[in-house]
Amino acid sequence: MATIREINAFGRRVVVSGIGLVTPVGIGVGEVWSNLTAGESGISRVTSFAADGYPCRVAGEVKSFNAEDFTDHKSVKRNDLFALYAIAAAKLAVTDAEINLADVDRSRVGVIVGSGIGGMATISEQSRIFLSKGARYVSPFMVPALISNIASGIIAIELGVKGPNCGVVSACATGSHAIGEAFHWLKLGKADAVLAGGSEAAVTPLSFSGFCSMHAMSTKHNDIPETASRPFDATRDGFVMGDGSGVLLLETMEHAKARGAKIYCEIIGYSASCDAHHITAPDPNGDGLVTCYKELFAETGIAPTDVQYINAHGTSTQYNDKYETLAIKKFFGTHAHDLLVSSIKGATGHLLGATGAVEAAVCAKTIETGTIAPTINYAVPDTECDLNYVPNESLKAEVTYAISENMGFGGQNAVLMFKKILQ
């Protein structure tokens, strides 16, 4: 069996040719990128339910989303919001890529779109119906609506693509794992194109109750919601939950060039690891993430000093930001202070299972445009978070290599590397 290094050396090259985004800062890659680089925030007071009794009353909700712009009324009625976001993001990616699926072999087009939580609103509503009315009133669509893999299945049905298809569930690393596994499918010749990413619609009373009980979410900025998510800032006090979806169209270089596709960048590496430390807290030594980096650079063969930018997980929690910074410094050494590191979660909140895919898209746009989206709400430096986090304003910089990293409950880590196509 070929090693990862051999597969990377002799396998097929993989590129990003389409981006679909549904986020708190906009819908569609153009709007999202414009707002992120302008330092706009999509975080506001919760509007989807009465949150006055909760310690945290802010969220990154998706605004002005009309599911019937992307699918029919019957599909809207049967599916959970997380799946509808995923359908929209997938179709936006196809449109952005300018690919006509009727002109390609659909048996060679795969889908791998996951969710960290799945159909939380469906679970809550159908539980309410069960408890108030009885078993016979529970919807026959409950189970397919709530399962986390259903987004991949529905995307395939609506687009008629019959290649490899599955869902990934790894909490906040879901989107990155999905893209990474799609990368492997393509390199190994299992498909010619794959729609890959994550989706989440967990801003619900039940989810809020759970995360508030964990004391995980910000509670000090309810009166000024747009300042609540403060990655790497010394005054950070917890994450802000967000909803949305990110889906990338990945293709082999050969397939993309054959159809004359525009190409954002190339994916050249993916690694995954587990902290094996705690169900929610990251490894205080950063060793799990460091392990990811060691494997990633062994696979790609490039030097750590070649990397210019890291899109950090940067959740605005005390532990994540501190230990993520530590891991970056442990692996990159003195080069860590030359890196540009930013987190978009100050603007979007934490999109849980969707966050890795949205942040992978940010890496692709960074390479394409030579612009670093800033870490907004960064005001008070933390002595233990001492890297260049591109505070508050976007920055022009030539980026050849960019990295996106994510960490999830259960200690699951995922890291992706992107490269500007120079030839």
pLDDT tens-place string over residues 333-344: 999 999 999 999
What mean pLDDT comes out for the span 101-128?
Answer: 97
Using the predicted structure, report yes or no on whether residue 1 has a pLDDT greater than 50: no
Residue 164 has phi, psi (to 5 degrees) of -55, 140
Query: What pLDDT score was predicted for residue 423?
Result: 63
| Residues 84, 146 within the same domain | yes
Q: Is the pLDDT of residue 3 over 80?
A: no
Asked about 350 being catalytic, the answer comes back as: yes
Q: Tell me the pTM.
A: 0.96
Instruction: Give how many domains the chain has, as a whole number.
Output: 2
User: Are residues 27 and 82 both part of a single domain?
Assistant: yes
**Averaged confidence pLDDT in the chain:** 96
Provide CB contacts within 8 A for 60, sequence distance 6+: 23, 24, 25, 42, 43, 203, 229, 240, 241, 242, 243, 244, 348, 349, 350, 351
Indicate if 254 and 332 belong to the same structural domain. no
Domain of 94, in residue numbers = 4-258
277 is catalytic: no
Catalytic residue among 177, 221, 255, 313: 313
DSSP lists the bridge partners of residue 242 as 60
Rounded Cα–Cα distance for residues 256 and 367 (Å): 18
Residue 407 lies in a domain: yes
CATH code for the domain in which residue 407 is found: 3.40.47.10
Q: For residue 12, tell me if it sits in a domain.
A: yes
250 and 293 share a domain?
Answer: no
> Does 145 fall in a domain?
yes
d(CA 375, CA 406): 16
Report DSSP state, residue 334: G
Residue of 177, 221, 255, 350 marked active site: 350
What residue type is assigned to position 4 of the chain? Answer: I
Write the burial class of residue 414 (CB in 10 Å: 0-12 exposed, 13-18 middle, 19+ buried): buried
The verdict on 276 and 245 lying in the same domain is no
pLDDT score recorded for residue 422: 82
Catalytic residue among 172, 265, 292, 363: 172
Query: Can 172 be counted among the known catalytic residues?
Result: yes
Asked whether residue 250 falls in the same domain as residue 324, the answer is no
Cβ within 8 Å of residue 97, ≥6 positions away: 17, 18, 249, 251, 261, 262
Same-domain status, 244 and 280:
no
Q: Are residues 288 and 188 in the same domain?
A: no
Same domain for 119 and 225?
Answer: yes
CA angle (155, 175, 70) in 5-degree steps = 30
In angstroms, the CA 170 to CA 357 distance is: 13
The mean pLDDT value for 123-134 works out to 97
| Domain-embedded: residue 263 | no
Domain boundary among 258, 277, 298: 258
Q: Mark whether 239 and 275 lie in a shared domain.
A: no
272-294 pLDDT, tens digit each: 999 999 998 999 999 999 999 99
- Residue among 32, 14, 16 at smallest CA distance from 24: 32
Residue 264 covered by a domain = no
